[in-house]
Amino acid sequence: MDVKYIINKVQLYQARNSALCNHDKARYFFFQYYKEFSQLLKTHIDNRPVIDMVSEEHKAKTHRDALEVCKMGVLDVRVIQKDPKIFLSYLTSLSGCDISLMAKLVIHFQLFGGTILELGTEEHHNKYFPDIKSMKIVGGFGMTEMGHGSNVRQIETVAEYDHNTKEFIINSPTRSSTKFWIGNMAKYGTHIVLFCRLIYKGEDKGVHGIITQIRDLDSRKVLAGIEIGDCGPKIGWNGIDNAWIRFTNYRVPKENLLNRFANISDSGEYTCQLSTPGKLFQVTISQLVFGRLLYICGPIKALVVTLRTGLTYAFNRRQFGEKGKKEDLIINYPSHYQALLPMLSHLVAFEFARDSIIERLLEPKTTDERLDETNSTISGVKALVNEYTMIYLNKLRTFCGGNGVSSYNLFGYYRNEMDIFQTAEGDGAVLYQQLSKFLLSEYKKWYKKEGVTGYIIKEVQTFLATSNPMYTHTRSIPYILSNEFHHHAFLYRFERVRSTVIEKLSHSKSKKMTFLQSWNDSLLYVIEMAKAYSHLYILEQSHLAIRRCQDPSTRNLLNDLIKLYALSNIEHDFAFFRNCNFLSSGKALAISDAIKELCIGIKPYALQIINSDYNVLIDPLLNIPLANLDGDYINHMADRVGVPKANL
């Protein structure tokens, strides 16, 4: 075998897990917490993925396990406040358990507790945090209704303030206002943060959050004025008891209003620090961002595990070959390696982007603008990562043939558990639009600052047009392989689509469409813009991350991997690049050839790369028969299902 790279294992490991464990002690610290908590978990609960259990039993197990985890006394809302790094390390450890258990604790600590932390005040913190820590109370997040998921602003549940008793009177006025999918609540939950319209002196003040008790703490009976039931079995997360909830003149004391930003004084005066209900709403849901980060970490973890299985199998399974010779390893079929290696390159690029987001989220809060940018970027990356993950999980299963169908190899498990990640806390189409809005407002700001009407658009278009000739036809391999070309292509794509959107929006304006009409009319481009930006962000962060790796040969390998990400991404979008004449057909073919060469070059190192992820090193490998490091999948599958050793 031609030795193309000499890998420095430590450096590869550090580069792959930069946000978690490089030489910086603070980060190693994070990693240490992850490791210790992971090991501790195993001594307390059976944390293996649940693969064959009815949902009722699964819910009971998940609740028992959650109580056990809380008994360990490690998880605490105050940790989110004091050291979010450590809290994140705990949640990351939990992603190695059955996903329902992780989800239950995230809902309880981060969605319920975190909302009280962000929107509540000291009194709420002191009153609730100890009971959240011990799980004496079980919390949920009461936002979604039957009629409204994505468009939360239009929820219908009302809380009317009654100054006589200093209480809110909560009602579900229609069937569509029924709270739906409220996690942790159908069987075991005691409290939710209820999101509802606050009606003050007959006036609708918009969406507010109110801590609302659901069950009596002693008897665990549902309180009068509340009707509740289970939403039934689901594609995944069946250990979570999702509830529908209805309120009829249910009364909650005034002090349960999360009043950091909006308050009702003892004398009964409503005040709000924010200028409009719209802004209050934005602040109210902005704390979902931390959660969205988890929706990036989860799919990446699932990809690490399943891609590792797919690669290990491909490097050991033989099928077909020359007559009279040993059959060929399936990794050597282009249909396999030209699919698996681009997946690996995407995964590593996603990880670099994830690590950069973690670092950004954990930096001390700076400007609103910076926060806006981070939030919008997270939205795009979350949508993108989930989209790729679902496609890859399906392909990976088929690459393992019939063995992929066995529950033990976890392809179905992860697909079912990850499915909900695609739309939870923001459907892809909605999140992409959110990012695009930010990207257009950035453009607008710049445009306003420059102050030359029409000029900028023209200039951008000129840049787009003139930038072509020098690149379109260059088939030079070094240039095709250069990071400079990749960055230019990704940047070009983003700027080009943004300029198309701007053009379309201006054009519709002249046709007297409303903004919403013209926005919707351009929706496919709006979504493309956000995707293009997300890929640009991922590429840039990958380039930055690789620079940190000091060993030249290891860095070369990572560099080639990201080149493969960039080129296979460009190839996937040839239609775009060819249609705007960014590439000639000859250059496109040269790119496809370069991809094949990169795949062949990286192939011998694929297992080492995938196995340098911290999840793989520390986790018990989830006991996946096809993924065992020794590659002896036949014996591991056979042992798992009780096939006796051959007696001949």
Known binding-site residues for FAD equal 144, 183
Q: How many residues bind a copy of itself (CB under 8 A)?
A: 101
**Interacting residues with a copy of itself between 585 and 604 (CB under 8 A):** 585, 588-589
Q: Of 76, 419, 495, 560, which lies in the binding site for a copy of itself, with binding defined by CB under 8 A?
A: 419
Region from 102-110, 315-323, 440-448, 609-617 binding a copy of itself, contact rule CB under 8 A: 315-323
What pairs with residue 86 in β-bridges?
Answer: none
**Interacting residues with a copy of itself between 180 and 199 (CB under 8 A):** 180-181
Region from 24-32, 172-180, 297-305, 374-382 binding a copy of itself, contact rule CB under 8 A: 172-180
Contact track, a copy of itself, 526-545, x by CB under 8 A = -x------------------
Q: CB within 8 A of 41, min separation 6: which ones?
A: 47, 69, 72, 93, 94, 96, 97
Sheet holding 226-230, edge to edge: 179-182, 243-247, 226-230
| Whole-number Cα distances in Å, 546 to 15, 17, 414 | 7, 11, 29
**Interacting residues with a copy of itself between 505 and 524 (CB under 8 A):** 514, 516, 520-521, 523-524
Nearest to 396 by CA among 382, 409, 383, 381: 409
**Interacting residues with a copy of itself between 101 and 160 (CB under 8 A):** 144, 146-151, 154
The yes or no reply on residue 326 touching a copy of itself (CB under 8 A) is: no
The yes or no reply on residue 276 touching a copy of itself (CB under 8 A) is: no
Region from 72-80, 132-140, 198-206, 397-405 binding a copy of itself, contact rule CB under 8 A: 397-405
CB of 556 to a copy of itself, least distance (A): 26
Contact track, a copy of itself, 17-56, x by CB under 8 A = ----------------------------------xxxxx-
Asked if 497 contacts 313 with a C-beta cutoff of 8 angstroms, the reply is no
**Interacting residues with a copy of itself between 424 and 443 (CB under 8 A):** 424, 427-429
What is the longest distance spanned by two Cα atoms in the chain?
A: 92
Q: 327 an active-site residue?
A: no
| Whole-number Cα distances in Å, 187 to 176, 293, 326 | 22, 28, 57
The yes or no reply on residue 468 touching a copy of itself (CB under 8 A) is: no
- Quick one: 271 or 514, whose CB is closer to a copy of itself? 514
For residue 598, the number of C-alpha atoms closer than 13 Å in the C-beta half-sphere is 32
Nearest to 336 by CA among 307, 372, 303, 293: 307
CB of 617 to a copy of itself, least distance (A): 27
H/E element, 140:
strand 139-142
| Whole-number Cα distances in Å, 603 to 6, 17, 550, 595 | 14, 21, 22, 12
Structure tokens at 624: 């996946």
Which of 156, 167, 425, 495 is the catalytic position?
A: 425
Asked if 154 contacts 237 with a C-beta cutoff of 8 angstroms, the reply is no
Cα–Cα distance for residue pair 529/96, rounded to 1 Å: 34
Bind-site residues: 144, 183
Q: Of 306, 379, 406, 569, which lies in the binding site for a copy of itself, with binding defined by CB under 8 A?
A: 406
The yes or no reply on residue 216 touching a copy of itself (CB under 8 A) is: no
**Interacting residues with a copy of itself between 349 and 368 (CB under 8 A):** none
Helix (H, G, I), strand (E, B) or coil at 220: coil
Structure tokens at 55: 């949902």
- Quick one: 27 or 498, whose CB is closer to a copy of itself? 498
Catalytic positions are: 425
